[in-house]
Structure 1
Amino acid sequence: MHGHHSHHASDDAGHPRHAHPHHDGDAHGATTSSHPQKEAHGHGHGHTHGHGGHAHAHGPINYDRIFAIGVALNVSYALIEAVAGFWLHSLALVADAGHNLSDVLGLLLAWAAVWLSRRKPSARHSYGLGRTSILAALANAVLLFVALGAIVWEAIGRLNEPQVVATGPVIVIALIGIAINGFTAWLFMRGSKTDLNVRGAYLHMAADAAVSAGVVASAALMGVTGWLWLDPVTSLIIAVVIAWGSWRLLVDSLRLSLDAVPAHVDASAVAGFLAHRAPVQSLHDLHIWALSTEAVALTAHLVCPDGHPGDAWLKDVCDELHERFAIDHATLQIETGDAAHCALRERCGLAH
């Protein structure tokens, strides 16, 4: 009873073009509509849709350049900070340097996912490798918590053996860290709102800026009060704040890796839209999942007793799914609700 799926057309660069739906005259047909997907991480995209003359375009974001800048700045700063931290006996600086180095690894993971997500689909990977961006986001979330665990461990040990800190130099180095990490976080800020992989990189940089700010505050207070315990206590407080802010990244990336419906997509609204679109009588087997941290896919079986509604109808539905719900790749199978086929589907446990 399953119809065939249309192939994915692509341009010379390997990026998908809109695959026009087609059917073979059978009442049970399927169509795949692949909208020009968001050019994965670094090439931007532009597209227009014929809805009353409405058109919109998105400017490109050069993530390659941003990642290169972020990696170069953070490697240089982490090395300087580590040397200064040991020399000045500042746990906060050493912890910040370690966190910066973990961020470099996180940036490299995210950058690698950006590169892999641009690769053309193949016979083995028919959707391409965009899903690596989800894995990178998950890895970055785990790295954040590993780094935080190391900070907490060292801070607890330093509470038992506080050491004198040269507050002046520490403040200067930490201020440089605020500038570097704050600037890098700002570069990623735009993409962090829509791309979970970029959000992971953004949170790493924002966390480092927060740690550096805490170092400045604790060093200034120590210079006035002489309370040596402020250095490790500040590290503990910052670790809690970062963990609180990073929890969402861990949860979201884990859910996407398990094929959960992306947080920005209202599955019930999508179901309502499809079910009430004439001549659809009902729908079943609706699935929505993430192809990457930016692209969303959907499959559904639509019951149309009067037969296939036509290619133009399918194209309009797919266009609206893209415009209203940000679903980039929709595959719809048309069924007439034949009783014999429905009974077979129920016996096989496929109806839901």
Structure 2
Amino acid sequence: MRIQPHQQQPTIDRQKHHRALWWALGLNFTFMLVEFFGGLITGSMALLSDAGHMLTDVGAIGLALFASWLALRPKDPRRTYGYLRAEILGGLANGTTLILLCGYILVEAIRRTGHPQPIPGGPVLAIATVGLAVNLGSALIIGRGHRTNLNLEGAYLHMLSDALGSIGAMVAGGVILVTGWTPVDTIVSVLIAVLILRGGWHLLMKAIDILMESTPPEIDYHQVLEALKSREHIVDLHDLHIWSISSGVLALSAHIQLSDECVKTGHWPQCLRETQNMLREQWGIEHTTLQTEPPFFQERYD
């Protein structure tokens, strides 16, 4: 039997979030092109790798916009959860692209180690400094709502990580300008590639975990199991499953065996409601499916 509360989440001003994301997308896309062509003209791998990192931010912001748009689409008989998993598929593709991009940057950095090129430190430093301002500005724009919107939070974290990439490019440009030691550009590009690899791998694994319907990392499966078993009138529990429908959208299903007294006195609806309230309040699990079973049901029909 299924009892599902239909309480609405707090209303979110989607238009405001869309507007902030569009501003951040425009800023990052414009400066990504500036860094890319600046890297081609100056021959700076640090600028090119940072432009690649900014491309991941553009993708992250675009994904947040796309996911927000899809979230407005209603569910239907074929897609009973709506289009919530679209952002997970986008994350899977984005994570794969990040790792491939990281591989390219590392290969190119190794190739240039044997064939160093003169790099003007001044333009590199100037472009990277403006890039840092763009990253911090985008983080400020997105950060106004990232605590209440998961898509915004992901884009916000991308902005902060890319700010580190801009700082790296600034360091490379400054060192080259002062000392003329160009190998620092390769070193910085490798460090930025490691940042991209870490972010891409984390994103890829998170998407795979959700698609595999793994127990969310923020939830202790055994803790939930023991909490359910300790509930009054629940004498046994089996087939417990906890998974994520999408980022921050948790679901649970279980077979629970109720006491004979609970069933006979008609107390079982209240028992289910209280159990659902506990799951929602302690772990944020809104989608719960609890199949109730009378005493000895499993032994009788196994």
TM-score tier, shorter chain, comes to: 0.7 to 0.9
Q: Contact (CA 8 Å) 2:129, 2:170: kept in 1 or not?
A: yes
Aligned residue runs from structure 1 range 265-276, under 5 A: 265-276=219-230
Range that drifts further, 236-245 or 277-286: 236-245
TM-score between the two structures when normalised by the length of structure 1: 0.76
- Would the alpha carbon gap of residues 151 and 197 (structure 1) be closer, same or farther in structure 2, given more than 3 Å must change? farther
Alpha-carbon separation, structure 1, partners of 2:107 and 2:211: 30
Q: 2:181 aligns with which of 212, 227, 231?
A: 227
Report the equivalent of 2:271: 313
Q: Deviation at 1:62?
A: 4.0
Give the AA of the match of 1:91.
M
Q: Contact (CA 8 Å) 1:192, 1:202: kept in 2 or not?
A: yes
Q: 1:201 aligns with which of 155, 163, 179?
A: 155
Give the AA of the match of 1:336.
P
Q: Does 1:250 align with 2:222?
A: no
Alpha-carbon separation, structure 2, partners of 1:229 and 1:326: 50
Report the equivalent of 1:18: none
Range that drifts further, 272-281 or 107-116: 107-116
Report the equivalent of 1:300: 254
Alpha-carbon separation, structure 2, partners of 1:254 and 1:236: 26
Range that drifts further, 152-161 or 134-143: 134-143
Report the equivalent of 1:135: 89
Q: Contact (CA 8 Å) 2:3, 2:272: kept in 1 or not?
A: yes
Q: CA RMSD in A?
A: 2.5
Local SS of the residue matching 2:295: coil
Q: Does 1:286 align with 2:240?
A: yes
Q: Contact (CA 8 Å) 2:142, 2:155: kept in 1 or not?
A: yes
Alpha-carbon separation, structure 1, partners of 2:163 and 2:90: 22
Aligned residue runs from structure 1 range 163-174, under 5 A: 163-174=117-128
Q: Does 1:36 align with 2:31?
A: no
Report the equivalent of 1:330: 288
Alpha-carbon separation, structure 2, partners of 1:274 and 1:35: 22
Alpha-carbon separation, structure 2, partners of 1:213 and 1:331: 49
Report the equivalent of 1:11: none
- Would the alpha carbon gap of residues 202 and 149 (structure 1) be closer, same or farther in structure 2, given more than 3 Å must change? farther
Report the equivalent of 1:342: 299
Report the equivalent of 2:99: 145
Report the equivalent of 2:72: 118
Q: Deviation at 1:269?
A: 1.6
Q: Deviation at 1:37?
A: 4.2
Structure 2 alignment gaps of length 5 or more: none
Give the AA of the match of 1:240.
V
Structure 1 alignment gaps of length 5 or more: 1-28, 45-59, 346-352
- Would the alpha carbon gap of residues 30 and 86 (structure 1) be closer, same or farther in structure 2, given more than 3 Å must change? closer
Q: Deviation at 1:140?
A: 2.6
Q: Deviation at 1:178?
A: 0.8
Give the AA of the match of 2:112.
R
Alpha-carbon separation, structure 1, partners of 2:291 and 2:5: 12
Local SS of the residue matching 2:4: strand
Report the equivalent of 2:190: 236
Alpha-carbon separation, structure 2, partners of 1:154 and 1:194: 40
Local SS of the residue matching 2:267: coil
- Would the alpha carbon gap of residues 268 and 278 (structure 1) be closer, same or farther in structure 2, given more than 3 Å must change? same
Report the equivalent of 1:49: none
Q: Does 1:211 align with 2:165?
A: yes
- Would the alpha carbon gap of residues 271 and 33 (structure 1) be closer, same or farther in structure 2, given more than 3 Å must change? farther
Q: Deviation at 1:201?
A: 2.8
Local SS of the residue matching 1:33: coil
Range that drifts further, 190-199 or 293-302: 190-199
Q: Contact (CA 8 Å) 2:96, 2:200: kept in 1 or not?
A: no
- Would the alpha carbon gap of residues 61 and 185 (structure 1) be closer, same or farther in structure 2, given more than 3 Å must change? farther
Range that drifts further, 137-146 or 239-248: 239-248
Aligned residue runs from structure 1 range 5-16, under 5 A: none
Report the equivalent of 1:15: none
Q: Deviations over 1:98-137 (max 9, x none)?
A: 3323432332223212221232121111111112222223
Q: Deviation at 1:35?
A: 3.7
Q: Deviations over 1:129-148 (max 9, x none)?
A: 11222222333322322222
Aligned residue runs from structure 1 range 22-171, under 5 A: 29-37=1-9, 43=12, 62-171=16-125
TM-score between the two structures when normalised by the length of structure 2: 0.88
- Would the alpha carbon gap of residues 157 and 38 (structure 1) be closer, same or farther in structure 2, given more than 3 Å must change? farther
Percent pairwise identity = 36
Report the equivalent of 1:10: none
